[in-house]
Amino acid sequence: MSATALRLDPAVVPPAAQRMRERVRRFLDEAARDGVFQPHAPTAGGGHNPQFSRRCGAAGFIGMTWPQALGGHGLSHLERYVVTEEMLAVSAPVRAHWVADRQSGPLLIRYGQAPVQQQLLPRIVRGECYFCIGMSEPDSGSDLFSVRSTATPADGGWRVNGRKLWTSNAHCSHYMIALLRTSPPTADNRRHGLTQFLVDMSSPGITVRPVADLTGAADFNEVTFDDVQVPAAHLLGEVDQAWRQATSELAYERSGPERFLETIYLLHALVRTAGQDPDPRVAEGVGRLVAELATLREMSLSVAGMLEGGAVPDVQAALVKDLGTNWEQALPARVRDMLPPIEAGIETSADNALDLHSLLGYATLIAPKLTIQGGTREILRGIIARALGLR
């Protein structure tokens, strides 16, 4: 791929998606009034909210792009995009159903066997079935070619042994999509020998250990498999040929607005606290942040348009993820740089100031993980460089 081939064409949000935006805003207002969640108030571990997920399912906000024949709603990727954007903009607690909706469900639709699809897809759409992704391992991180956890043939299916690390939400998930080694890589193809499986997290032999972050929460986990039995029907796709499947899955994971909106509550709090007549330094800083955010959004929308057209824009998704997570990770420090003029006399309520300080503390503690989850920046930049012919 040449530099000119790495395209991010503008995507136009169609009228149907604009109407969907108004609908989801009404939904969020109603859920907030009913006390289901508090907007703009992220808390450690607070994103797992089964009540909110079931409410999303009832409203048709899960499985939006999936075929209607498989329980989905047959809508466009751009309609789904605006729903995602609106929910993340107010820090809605989508964590329970997020992975199943974003990537595991589409993977089951493409590679799952019919009985598994019939059993699980309707539960996902209702917001009642939650997934985690088992890719990284203790000695491999984002280098998935070095995966060592194994699946070996056994009576009626497969036997799984090994460990996964940094597995988000494994402690509250019903199933894992696991990338496992089924045969050694070949001399000329490191990608060979990897296979994907659906693993029931309630199976005997699975141990989930929390990995606490700086906030004290444990969204990450270490998962150990000790002779875990996986039925033959839970094989996803072809044996030894999962790398292509995993790559397409990562295009869904890496390109959405969640890759630059995870700390957006901090920008909202900054604007509220700065007030109507901010210090010129603060006004300039906010302007820069908003301009950068608008650029990231256009890039992400472009990838959504490619997905709508049936493409697998894995390189473009890696670019969005790298730039987006670096932006949201840097946001706490950039907001902190603007605090002196705010605290020196900008007219604002004490409540807003306290809110900004509280959110800044939380965002600072979670920021280190943002460029790790979904693939480290080093791996992403390697993907981009290879596509541009630079390595």
Quick: pLDDT tens for 223-258: 999 999 999 999 999 999 898 776 666 666 677 898
CATH ID of 133-242, from 2.60.120.260, 2.60.40.10, 3.30.70.380, 2.40.110.10: 2.40.110.10
Q: What is d(CA 94, CA 81) in angstroms, rounded to the nearest whole number? A: 14
Q: What is the pLDDT of residues 167-184, one digit of tens each?
A: 999 999 999 999 999 999
The alpha helices in 43-128, defined as continuous H runs, are: 50-59, 77-89, 95-99, 105-111, 114-125
Q: What is d(CA 252, CA 54) in angstroms, rounded to the nearest whole number? A: 22
> Residue 302 in contact with residue 323, Cβ under 8 Å?
no
* Predicted local confidence at residue 131, as pLDDT: 98
Helical packing angle, 314-337 and 377-387, nearest 10°: 130
* Predicted local confidence at residue 45, as pLDDT: 57
Whole-model pTM? Answer: 0.90
What is the mean pLDDT of the segment spanning 30-51?
Answer: 88
* Predicted local confidence at residue 248, as pLDDT: 61
**How far is Cα of residue 225 from the mean position of the Cα atoms in its chain?**
24
What is the mean pLDDT of the segment spanning 299-305?
Answer: 91
Give the residue with greater pLDDT, 375 vs 99: 99
* Predicted local confidence at residue 214, as pLDDT: 85
C-alpha separations of 315 from 91, 140, 371, 374 in Å: 28, 21, 17, 14
What is the mean pLDDT of the segment spanning 112-132?
Answer: 97
Q: What is d(CA 188, CA 200) in angstroms, rounded to the nearest whole number? A: 34
Confidence of residue 387 (pLDDT cuts 50, 70, 90): confident
* Predicted local confidence at residue 139, as pLDDT: 79
C-alpha separations of 72 from 56, 67, 76 in Å: 13, 5, 11
DSSP characters for 157-206?
A: EEEEEEEE-S-TTGGG-SEEEEEEESSPPBTTBTTTTEEEEEEETTSTTE
CATH 2.40.110.10-classified regions of the chain:
133-242
Fold exhibited by the domain 256-387: Butyryl-CoA Dehydrogenase, subunit A; domain 3 (1.20.140)
**How far is Cα of residue 24 from the mean position of the Cα atoms in its chain?**
19
Confidence of residue 191 (pLDDT cuts 50, 70, 90): confident
SS3 assignment, position 140:
coil
% of the chain surpassing 90 pLDDT: 65
Which secondary-structure segment (H or E) carries 151? strand 150-154
* Predicted local confidence at residue 89, as pLDDT: 94
Q: What is the pLDDT of residues 73-97, one digit of tens each?
A: 999 989 999 999 999 999 999 999 9
DSSP state of 143: -
> Which amino acid does the sequence have at 135?
M
Q: What is d(CA 66, CA 88) in angstroms, rounded to the nearest whole number? A: 21
Q: What is the pLDDT of residues 316-328, one digit of tens each?
A: 988 999 999 999 9
Task: Please name the residues in contact with 194: beta carbons below 8 A apart, sequence gap of 6 or more.
Answer: 144, 145, 147, 179, 180, 181, 182, 240, 241, 242, 243, 246
Q: What is the pLDDT of residues 194-222, one digit of tens each?
A: 999 999 999 999 999 999 888 888 889 99
* Predicted local confidence at residue 249, as pLDDT: 61
Q: What is d(CA 180, CA 164) in angstroms, rounded to the nearest whole number? A: 10
Say which CATH superfamily domain 3-129 falls into: Acyl-CoA dehydrogenase/oxidase, N-terminal domain (1.10.540.10)
Task: Please name the residues in contact with 223: beta carbons below 8 A apart, sequence gap of 6 or more.
Answer: 134, 163, 164, 165, 167, 170, 176, 206, 207, 208, 209
Q: What is d(CA 335, CA 261) in angstroms, rounded to the nearest whole number? A: 15
> Residue 252 in contact with residue 193, Cβ under 8 Å?
no
Helical packing angle, 242-255 and 314-337, nearest 10°: 40
* Predicted local confidence at residue 157, as pLDDT: 97
CATH 1.10.540.10-classified regions of the chain:
3-129
